[in-house]
Structure 1
Amino acid sequence: MTLNIPFDNSYAALPAGFYSRLDPTAVAAPDLISFNRDLAALMLITETSDAELTMLFSGNAVPEGAAPLAQLYAGHQFGQFNPQLGDGRAILLGETVGRDGVRRDIQLKGSGPTPYSRNGDGRAWLGPVLREYVVSEAMHALGVPTTRALAAVRTGEMIQREAMRPGAVLTRVASSHIRVGTFQIFAARRDVIALRQLFDYTVARHYPDCTTPDALLQAVIDRQAALVAQWMSLGFIHGVMNTDNCTLSGETIDYGPCAFLDFYDPETVFSSIDRHGRYGYASQADIIVWNMAQLATALLPLMPDADAAVAQFTDQVHAMPELIRQEWLARFAAKIGIGTPKPEDAALIGDLLTRMHGNQADFTNTFRALSDGTARDQFTDPTAFDSWAEGWQARIASDPDAIQRIRQTNPAFIPRNHRIEQMIAAAVAGDDAPFHRLNAVLSRPFDDQPDAEDLRRPPAPSEVVAATFCGT
């Protein structure tokens, strides 16, 4: 059967100033690592031979109906505004509308230089490609709004990073790649016509009930507040929450230096380029508010009364921390079995987290173990858990669904940092079995999987991952 991708491209119909048209750059010796057949079926992409998949998802062939382009955007990177970024190593092939009615982008990442590469080679090396594949698919299985991975291909070429590394291409799927930075570039250029076109396009694609910029801002605020609270409830640290990595759709995007907590420490920072902890675990709620303030600023030129809009947008952004607190409370209350949280439950949750921090308790395993009576084993001083548990047990005593709620909310399996690094090392050596095993286990994160108990284990001292890297 010949590959068929039912392209229905809308972003390419926007004016030329939104992107640069170009094809991906061919690679020397592509080799297919993985193709996500379940996702392909959802997107109505037909089955075909591995040889044809390899050619397409390496960038060596452009499928019929594609409209390849690199998107233009700007963004604040670690608080500093860069007036022009854009897809420096990615090509948007086009869009499909799946069997679920959802429109999705298909993007090749690591597909060669573009006009926005800024002297970069436009390539990706194997490690970050496999990390993004595993973590994005795991996040999907965890119920987190996220981009997804359709394919991964070795290029057969070596690329220069801190050392020579094997190259690869990731095929990323997203409900769109519209970012806060996409709005920022046209606002910075004072191009109100393009800004209005982008607003109309974004509303039509994601928020058809939002007819005004303030309504769009509120809708994005709501989604981002829920998203970051969900990240934190899973111990996830994005690591690079620049405005060009913040989507209007409310999906998690860009898994470069991301990581998950092992033992609980709210000050944890993994990203090697985050020298001041701007995007650490505990800072994520503050940063998403800051990012929404930048979106508000970019939307101001679309408002008829600038002074009134500033006041209105300020109120909306200032109300966001309370939205995040409420989302956080709902998520963490469910993690300890509470279905309808009360304000005072925040103190109960906070007390547990404080004790976990003081006792080097593993974040994921502690919450999961609340369902089977073994959580105290996660503490260096089990009596610290025991004294907390008295109040907790009294709180959930009358709820027959509490234990089941804990099991449905707290995964048994996450993409642990040391397992990701071990998987990458194996793949670099030519062994893809750990990659495929991780994907299989992480596709069922809430299930007990006795054959995979080793993947639940926190790192031994020699396995601890102290820093994660962007990969660019």
Structure 2
Amino acid sequence: MDNRNQQAETRKAVIPFDNSYARLPAHFHASAIPTHVAEPWLIKFNRPLAEELGLDADALERDGAAIFSGNSIPEGAEPLGMAYAGHQFGQFVPLLGDGRAILLGEVIDRAGKRRDIQLKGAGKTPYSRRGDGRAALGPVLREYIVSEAMFALGIPATRALAAVVTGEPVYREQVLPGGVITRVAASHIRVGTFQFLASRGDTDGLKTLADYVIDRHYPDLKSSDRPYLDLVKAVVERQAALIARWLCVGFIHGVMNTDNCAISGETIDFGPCAFLDAYDPTKVFSSIDRGGRYAYASQPAIGQWNMARLAETLLPLIDPEPSEAVSLANDVIAGFGGLFQAHWLDGMKAKIGLFTEEDGDLDLVQGLLTAMHQGGADFTLTFRALCDAAESADKDEALKALFATPHQIEAWLFAWRERTGREPLSDAETAAKMRAVNPAFIPRNHRIEQAIRAAEDDGDFSLFEALLTVLARPYEDQPGFAAYTAPPLPQEEVLRTFCGT
């Protein structure tokens, strides 16, 4: 055998860790060693992401079952659970922490950005309380599918690096196969991380954390006269933009607790999340959201509420005079709604082919949504069909067919054509731009459930692989996967989604 080939086959998988969070004060985190599992098997390895991170993809793919299950800890890793608090459905819990997630460490990717690598479902941590620290296979597959779909849609989100079957059962309402997902994030620092320190009156710790976040995520603020107020402003801006993008693709997070709100502005934690089929602004999927707190249209208000909780923690750093700190922070939080509205309206206007500005544009957008709600029209299919209608009025019938009765959209179509007629682009150019922001494919809830059922019941991952393939190119027409654009049949409809714990 060629010596070079032999060396390539036997070289050990190396991850070039540089673990800055582990160097923060000891009470920010706790050591957490993954629990050994019986027979790990690598379901999926995200080779392009590994290469983006500057990792040895060949070695990781070879050794992935051991590494991504937690059975083998790579050299340089400093496994830990992060401490944080959080408001869960409005109720404050002073200590939550990573109960089933273990941060292996951080790497600097090829673009020079620092990224966390974290195992989720790899066993107990000091923050597990009465939990087992494990994840069932279903939530692992759901997070892999949806997080990678969000990335392909262009929405900031954590990424999935690998998924593993553990070869051991987990016990929920029933016995299920266990799994571990390895996810990558700009960081896993949350609003709840700040709340953890603030609830303990740890102002020094808050300053340390805020300085760390500024250095890691918002370095332009280091020269600011009011860096901590400007930190709140920066996080508010990212959250407003993020939630607007969620709404533009019909995404419902499902559990927008402050411990699930990332300071980086990424979508994090894909537990009971779901995408709209028929448009309904009050829609809730999450089985634990019994009061509809995190319904589709409630997400902007909850985003603002979460940002207020962040601002509260930083008041001692914003200004030494409490009343002045509150006044300054309130001004920032009050601006959330306007920021969200601007991002959302820009996104929705692009979806209906409007790229200039007129006074009636908001009413036109709202008119379409009202018609969709009254007509029971599918959110994704309506906007995609509108792209075809923009190119040719001959395609109007296909759009009308999505509504319970055609007259529910006819008047709107007339007003829309009158408005788009004042746009400077040709019909073909307008349609092309619309197709670039209106996906043909989303992670349909029933398709995700079908993939999970096949994997859990039969060990069949072909539906999981097919979903990943089609969702990697959501804005392209893919004739071979046309069935994946269809909404569920009545017997396929998913009414409730569940948290993995």
1:457 is the counterpart of 2:489: no
Q: SS of 1:210's equivalent?
A: helix
CA distance 1:232–1:192, change in 2 (3 Å): same
List runs of 5+ in structure 2 lacking aligned partners: 1-7, 390-397
Aligned 8 A contact 2:45 2:162 in 1 = yes
* Residue in structure 1 matched with residue 186 of structure 2 by the alignment: 175
Residues 133-187 of structure 1, C-alpha deviations (whole Å, 9 max, x = no match): 0000000000000000000000000111010010000001000001000000101
1:436 is the counterpart of 2:436: no
Structure 2 residue corresponding to 1:415, chosen from 430, 435, 443: 443
Which stretch of structure 1 is more off in the superposition, 459-468 or 301-310? Answer: 301-310
Rounded Cα–Cα distance in structure 2 between residues aligned with 1:282 and 1:13: 40
Paired residue type of 1:192 = T
Structure 2 residue corresponding to 1:86, chosen from 97, 100, 116: 97
Q: SS of 1:157's equivalent?
A: strand
* Residue in structure 1 matched with residue 317 of structure 2 by the alignment: 302
1:220 is the counterpart of 2:235: yes
1:314 is the counterpart of 2:330: yes
Aligned 8 A contact 2:374 2:408 in 1 = no
Paired residue type of 2:465 = H
Residues 284-323 of structure 1, C-alpha deviations (whole Å, 9 max, x = no match): 0100000000000011121322210100111111111111
* Residue in structure 1 matched with residue 250 of structure 2 by the alignment: 235
Residues 78-102 of structure 1, C-alpha deviations (whole Å, 9 max, x = no match): 0000000000001100011111111
* Residue in structure 2 matched with residue 18 of structure 1 by the alignment: 28
1:36 is the counterpart of 2:46: yes
The alpha carbon displacement at 1:394 in A equals 1.4
Give the length in aligned residue pairs.
472
The alpha carbon displacement at 1:384 in A equals 1.8
* Residue in structure 2 matched with residue 160 of structure 1 by the alignment: 171
How many percent identity over aligned positions? 57
* Residue in structure 2 matched with residue 326 of structure 1 by the alignment: 342
The alpha carbon displacement at 1:380 in A equals 1.4
The alpha carbon displacement at 1:343 in A equals 4.1
Residues 249-286 of structure 1, C-alpha deviations (whole Å, 9 max, x = no match): 00000000000000001010000000000000010010
1:356 is the counterpart of 2:372: yes
1:133 is the counterpart of 2:144: yes
Alignment of 1:26-425 (within 5 A): 26-46=36-56, 47-48=58-59, 50-211=61-222, 212-303=227-318, 304-373=320-389, 374-397=398-421, 398=423, 399-400=425-426, 401-425=429-453
The alpha carbon displacement at 1:341 in A equals 3.6
Residues 89-136 of structure 1, C-alpha deviations (whole Å, 9 max, x = no match): 011000111111111000000010011001100000000000000000
Residues 400-459 of structure 1, C-alpha deviations (whole Å, 9 max, x = no match): 232112100100000000000000001112000010110011000000000101111000
Rounded Cα–Cα distance in structure 2 between residues aligned with 1:417 and 1:367: 18
Aligned 8 A contact 1:89 1:112 in 2 = yes
* Residue in structure 1 matched with residue 394 of structure 2 by the alignment: none
Aligned 8 A contact 1:9 1:67 in 2 = yes
Rounded Cα–Cα distance in structure 1 between residues aligned with 2:357 and 2:99: 45
* Residue in structure 1 matched with residue 392 of structure 2 by the alignment: none
Q: SS of 2:221's equivalent?
A: coil
Aligned 8 A contact 2:353 2:420 in 1 = yes
Aligned 8 A contact 1:187 1:301 in 2 = no
* Residue in structure 2 matched with residue 7 of structure 1 by the alignment: 17
Aligned 8 A contact 2:161 2:182 in 1 = yes
Aligned 8 A contact 1:333 1:341 in 2 = no
Paired residue type of 2:378 = D
Rounded Cα–Cα distance in structure 2 between residues aligned with 1:115 and 1:343: 55
Q: SS of 2:96's equivalent?
A: coil
1:427 is the counterpart of 2:455: yes
Rounded Cα–Cα distance in structure 1 between residues aligned with 2:92 and 2:324: 25
The alpha carbon displacement at 1:377 in A equals 1.9
Rounded Cα–Cα distance in structure 2 between residues aligned with 1:339 and 1:55: 51
Residues 221-255 of structure 1, C-alpha deviations (whole Å, 9 max, x = no match): 00000000000000000000000000110000000
Paired residue type of 1:306 = P
CA RMSD after TM alignment: 0.9
The alpha carbon displacement at 1:342 in A equals 3.3
Q: SS of 2:140's equivalent?
A: helix
CA distance 1:366–1:156, change in 2 (3 Å): same
Relative to the length of structure 2, the TM-score reads 0.93
Rounded Cα–Cα distance in structure 2 between residues aligned with 1:343 and 1:298: 39
Relative to the length of structure 1, the TM-score reads 0.99
List runs of 5+ in structure 1 lacking aligned partners: none
